[in-house]
Every structure is written in C-alpha cells, then in structure tokens.
A and B are shown apart, each in its own frame.
Chain A
Amino acid sequence: MKPLGEIGKGLFKENPILVIMLGLCATLACSTNFSDALGMGLAFSFVIVGSNVVISLVRRLVPGQVRIPVYITVIATLVTVADYVMKAFVPDLSRSLGVFVPLIVVNCIIMGRAEAFASKNGVWRSFLDGLGMGIGFTVVIALIGILRGLMGEGTISLSLLGLKDITVLSDKWYPGVLIFILAPGAFLVIGFLIALHHKIGDLLATAKARKTQSNLRQAATASPTVSGEGASTDDRQ
C-alpha cells in the first residue's frame, strides 16, 4: 500500500471511532468541548504513533507468549510521558481530562493496532498507520467536541489554543441542551456521525461503481474500432 493510503485508511475507511469503535470510553468522556477533545486527540496520537513504532521495532525480539505485557509496558511508558508533559505545560487540560489520560494505557485502539498492525509490519508502515489512526481519532473526537459544546452550551472552547471561547449561541436566548454534555449526548452524537459516515461511504461506493461501469462501457464502445469488426458484426444485425 502507498504511504498515503496507510494514513488515509485511519481517516475514513478504518476510522478508530466511527468504524473500529474500540476504546469509546475516552471518546465519550473527553469530548464535552473542543478544547478537551483536541487535547485528548493529541495525547492519543502521540501515544499511538510512539507505540506503533516501538512495538514494530521490537516485534522480532519479543516471544509471542509475553507480547501483551510488553505492549502494555511500552504504551504505559509513553502515556506516562504524555501525562507528565500535560501536567507541566497544560495543567488546566490535565485537570479537566483527569483519569482519562492514564487510562489511555488500556485504550483498546492502541492495543488493537499494536496487535493487528505494528507486530506484523515494518517501522515505516507502522509509523504511518499510527499517524493515520491518530489523525482520524483527533479529527472525529474534535468534531464531536465541537458539536457537543455547541449544542450543550452554545460555545466552542478554545482554551487549549490560548484563545477565548467562541460563543456561537448566546445564553441570553439559547437555553443549552444539557444532555449533550452528559454521556447520553455523546452516544447520540457518535451514533449520528456513524450514520453520516455510512451514508458518505455508500455515496462514494455508488459513485465508484458508476465510474467503473462507465469506464467499462467506454471500453466496450471503443473496442470495435480498436479490435476490428470481426467480433461485433453479429451484434449489429
């Protein structure tokens, strides 16, 4: 597979939140606003890229029986690094995400990619896979964060970027649909995003099918002139 394809599959075809649907607990808990979601996405991306690379490097050295403990040790190390870095440089975010940063250790997507991809592929491809998964996760969780913050409180929180929150729907006239800040709201938003993802996938598939069909038809209409009259004389009569 081309490098771009390796990244691209994490974005759409094998998106960790919308298709693989593993480790949703971090997605549910850390997507109440854009700022938290982006922080979670970046921390997650750092850990998955790092773990994919390291695990791919040591994949031939580790006996199969102890591979899971080794994965966990590698991931836990990276998570600890991410946790300390966040505590040092973005303490507010660290406080807001709370226990969910240490919990990245047991995030099923990271374990899943380590088991399903990094332990079977080379370093470069594992790096690209981790990058794609990280970007896919970050984009979708950030989107969920924007939607939930917008519907729940009417604001888009940008405190992680050092900016003031954008108030889209003023609380003077927008009551704030609090359910979107609670867990049921996260499920609703994820559910509708999954439905949208399916719809887009269907549209892309039909467009592709139509394109191949028209290509075939073109080839069929073009073929008599290329390959001579012999084969098509019967059809014309």
Chain B
Amino acid sequence: MMKSEKRSITSASAPYIAEGAGIRTVMWTVSACLVPALAWGLAVFGARAILVVATALAGAVLTELAANAIRGKVTVGDGSAFLTGLVIGMSLPPAAPVYVPLCASVFAVAVVKHASGGLGANWMNPAMAGRVFALLSFPAAMSAWIAPATIAEGAGPSFDALSGATPLSVVKTTVSSIGAGAASQEAAASALRSLGGPAALMAVHHYPVTAFDGQLSKWLGGLFGVNVRPGYFDLFFGNTAGSIGEISVFLLLVGAAVLLARKIISWEIPAALLGTFALLTWVFGGVPFATGLFQGDVLFHLFSGGIVFCAFFIATDYVSGPLTRPGKIVFGAGVGLIAFLIRAAGILPEGASVAIIVMNMFVPLIDRFLRPKRTVIAREKTT
C-alpha cells in the first residue's frame, strides 16, 4: 500500500474483563432506578396505589411463572417480568380497581411477550401494550385519579380531592367544552384566547398550588425580577394528580441520570423524543388556545403527564426499539410527534403509551432503512 491505512477499529490487548451487563443486571438496575419515583407515588397516593402496584407486580411475575411452566424454560429470574409489572403499576391511575393492573400485566406477559416467543421476540413493548389494553378495555377505571396527599389538604372547597383530575385532563375537558359550547367560531376563539394557556387555565379552575410551590415561585420571581406563575414546581416535583409513577418528574430524572451514567440507556431516544415533543409544543402548543404559533407552554407539557417517564424508562426498551443510532433518533422523534399530536388534537388527554406502540410497529422498517454501515476498512480521501 502506498499510504498508511487508517484503522477505524482498535482493540485493547488482553486480558478482557467481562462486566456482566446481562439481561438480569439491566432489568434490575432499571427497576432500582424507578424506585424513587415509585416511592413518591406510593407515599402521596397511599394504600390504593400500593394495591395497584402490588397487583401489577404479582400478576406479571405469576404469569411469567405460568408461562415458564408451560414452555419448560425458567426465565422469571431475569427480572423482565418484574420490570414489566413495575412499569404497568406505575403507569396506572392510583385508584384503579384491582382487575385493571391484573388484566394489564397478564396481557402484557402472556400475550405480548410469551405468545410471540418470549423476551427478545416481542415486537411491542409489553408494559405499554398492557396499559393500552387496559385503556381500551376499562376507560372509566383508567381515569380513577385521586389527588395526592400533599395538595389535598391545602385545596380550596371547589377542588374535589377524591376525583382530582390530572392537569392534562382539566385542560382537555375545558378546551373541548368551550369549543363545543360556543355559538360561533369567533366566540370560541376569543373564549379560548382569554384562558391564556394551560397553566393559567388551571389557576382559573382553582387547581391547588402548594405553599412550597408558591414560595419557590415568589423567590425565583424576586431573584430575576419577573412574574413567575405558580404551579410549575408542583408539576415538576410531583404535587399533582396523575399516574402513580409519572408525577414526580424530578425523581424520574434522578433515576434516568443513573441509567445514563451507567450506560444502560443511551441518550438518543430520550433526547429525540423530548426534543421533538418540546419543539412541537413550543410551535403549535398555542393552537388549541387560539393564540397562534410559537406560544406553546413547553414546561407545562414536559412536566405534566407521563412523557418524561416514557422517554427515559419505556421508549428505551431494547427489544422493541431500533438498533442503530440514527434509527433511535427517528424512533424517538416519532414517539414525540405522535404523543404531541394526541395531546394537542386527540380525544385522550395524553397518549405517550399509544405513541410508543405505534412507533414499535415502525421499528422493523427503521432498522431496514437505517442499517449500520458494513465494516469496511476506511479509505483515506484523495486530497
């Protein structure tokens, strides 16, 4: 050869040390990183939430055992069924009747995972499939929200703590009822415009704000000399109604940071997902409020609902996600797009779980068109 070859692959010399990051390690680490957010959810929602999560876990693990007995191969120890049950439990409303987590986790493990060939062969994310199964099967039970203990005590008389709606469902019902009740389109638009975005809408509805949030907002406003609308800190730290595990964005981010640092999840899917979602929300998020483009409330939408939970802990599932880095970015962006569309224009208040399942269907296509390049020795460019 005339020129020295540029080697793109280098390998260290022996000895090689196996780190042992097998299925078991991954599953149990992810489960452990979910614990802070789970503990918060259980603490503020109380006994009913504990029952939901325990049922989901028991349902998933027992179904795994039964499937193992039928298929003659014991895989219950790899932790995948435990993690599926945990994610299902955390994604359900705290006051859901017992049959909801049970049906969801039995469906997830028996039908989605084992009927398609066990872990590694399922094209759909089992936990999200279980959640969507419950959503389609028990629509009433899947909105059995309760207000967390932290806001129920400070709430005004107009707030019903037992059926405490989530911020997103308050927004959705208000916006759609104004749209349906107005005499003309212009009247509807002006009524919507006067709401002034989701955070102001919640204040109109006397959605409770904790003293903690009020003081923090006032302090931050004083620090920068601006008027900070209260409510965002409650959304961020989890003083709001919602699914058991999704409410505390802060604790979810703590868990996600551990997973990222240990390289159990990679940054592509969460970054693409949240980036697309935030960008679309900023550009088009004002449309439901008739305020035009570039008026969306990004922080409100990022901190409410299950988008952060899905981005870091569910969309990053190895089995039902794409393999390559460009593929992961496409996948994440797709989930962000669909989740945004459902929030902005759908009937459901939010649909991150549906978005993940829809994008799961595209994974074979993504992997087909965004294949890793064949390993050929890189030639130097002729100068």
Residues of A within 8 A of B (CB): 175-180, 182, 184, 188, 195
**B136 touches A (CB below 8 Å):** yes
Q: Which of chain A's residues have a CB closer than 8 A to the CB of B141? A: 175
Q: Distance in Å from the Cβ of A2 to the closest Cβ of chain B?
A: 38
How many B residues are at the interface, by size bracket? 10 to 19
- Considering the complex, give the chain A residue whose CB is closest to the CB of B136: A179
User: In the complex, which residues 72-101 of chain B have their Cβ closer than 8 Å to any Cβ of chain A?
Assistant: 97, 99
A179:B111 contact, CB within 8 angstroms: no
Q: In the complex, A101→B278 CA distance in Å?
A: 47
Most B CB within 10 A of own CB, among A179, A180, A195: A179
B111:A177 contact, CB within 8 angstroms: no
Most A CB within 10 A of own CB, among B97, B115, B137, B138: B137
User: In the complex, which residues 133-185 of chain B have their Cβ closer than 8 Å to any Cβ of chain A?
Assistant: 133, 136-139, 141
Q: Distance in Å from the Cβ of B59 to the closest Cβ of chain A?
A: 15
Residues of B within 8 A of A (CB): 97, 99, 103, 111, 115, 133, 136-139, 141
Q: Distance in Å from the Cβ of A234 to the closest Cβ of chain B?
A: 43
Q: In the complex, A176→B137 CA distance in Å?
A: 7
Q: In the complex, A182→B139 CA distance in Å?
A: 13
Most B CB within 10 A of own CB, among A175, A182, A184, A195: A175
Q: Which of chain B's residues have a CB closer than 8 A to the CB of A182? A: 136
| Chain B interface helix/strand/loop/mixed | helix
A178 is contacted by which of B97, B115, B136 (Cβ under 8 Å)?
B136
Given A182-B136, A184-B136, A175:B111 Cβ within 8 A = no
- Considering the complex, give the chain B residue whose CB is closest to the CB of A152: B137
A178:B133 contact, CB within 8 angstroms: no
Q: In the complex, A11→B18 CA distance in Å?
A: 57
A178:B138 contact, CB within 8 angstroms: yes
Q: Which of chain A's residues have a CB closer than 8 A to the CB of B137? A: 176-180
Q: Which of chain B's residues have a CB closer than 8 A to the CB of A195? A: 115
- Considering the complex, give the chain A residue whose CB is closest to the CB of B135: A179
B99:A175 contact, CB within 8 angstroms: yes
Q: In the complex, A29→B339 CA distance in Å?
A: 28
A177:B139 contact, CB within 8 angstroms: no
Q: Which of chain A's residues have a CB closer than 8 A to the CB of B97? A: 175
Q: In the complex, A195→B115 CA distance in Å?
A: 10
Q: In the complex, A166→B309 CA distance in Å?
A: 44
Q: In the complex, A175→B137 CA distance in Å?
A: 9
- List 20 contacting pairs A-B, 8 Å CB cutoff, sorted by A: A175-B97, A175-B99, A175-B138, A175-B141, A176-B137, A177-B103, A177-B137, A177-B138, A178-B136, A178-B137, A178-B138, A178-B139, A179-B133, A179-B136, A179-B137, A180-B137, A182-B136, A184-B136, A188-B111, A195-B115
Q: In the complex, A222→B103 CA distance in Å?
A: 58
18 extra interface residue pairs, beta carbon distance < 8 Å, beyond A178-B136, A180-B137: A175-B97, A175-B99, A175-B138, A175-B141, A176-B137, A177-B103, A177-B137, A177-B138, A178-B137, A178-B138, A178-B139, A179-B133, A179-B136, A179-B137, A182-B136, A184-B136, A188-B111, A195-B115
Q: Distance in Å from the Cβ of B10 to the closest Cβ of chain A?
A: 48
Q: In the complex, A180→B107 CA distance in Å?
A: 13
Q: Which of chain A's residues have a CB closer than 8 A to the CB of B139? A: 178
Q: Distance in Å from the Cβ of B96 to the closest Cβ of chain A?
A: 11
Q: Distance in Å from the Cβ of A25 to the closest Cβ of chain B?
A: 20
Q: In the complex, A171→B111 CA distance in Å?
A: 25
Q: Which of chain B's residues have a CB closer than 8 A to the CB of A176? A: 137
Q: In the complex, A177→B130 CA distance in Å?
A: 13
Q: Which of chain B's residues have a CB closer than 8 A to the CB of A178? A: 136-139
Q: In the complex, A159→B99 CA distance in Å?
A: 30
Q: In the complex, A43→B115 CA distance in Å?
A: 34
Q: Which of chain B's residues have a CB closer than 8 A to the CB of A184? A: 136
Q: In the complex, A184→B139 CA distance in Å?
A: 15
Q: Which of chain A's residues have a CB closer than 8 A to the CB of B138? A: 175, 177-178
Q: Which of chain A's residues have a CB closer than 8 A to the CB of B133? A: 179
Q: Distance in Å from the Cβ of A194 to the closest Cβ of chain B?
A: 12
- Considering the complex, give the chain B residue whose CB is closest to the CB of A182: B136
Q: Which of chain B's residues have a CB closer than 8 A to the CB of A177? A: 103, 137-138
Q: Distance in Å from the Cβ of B102 to the closest Cβ of chain A?
A: 11
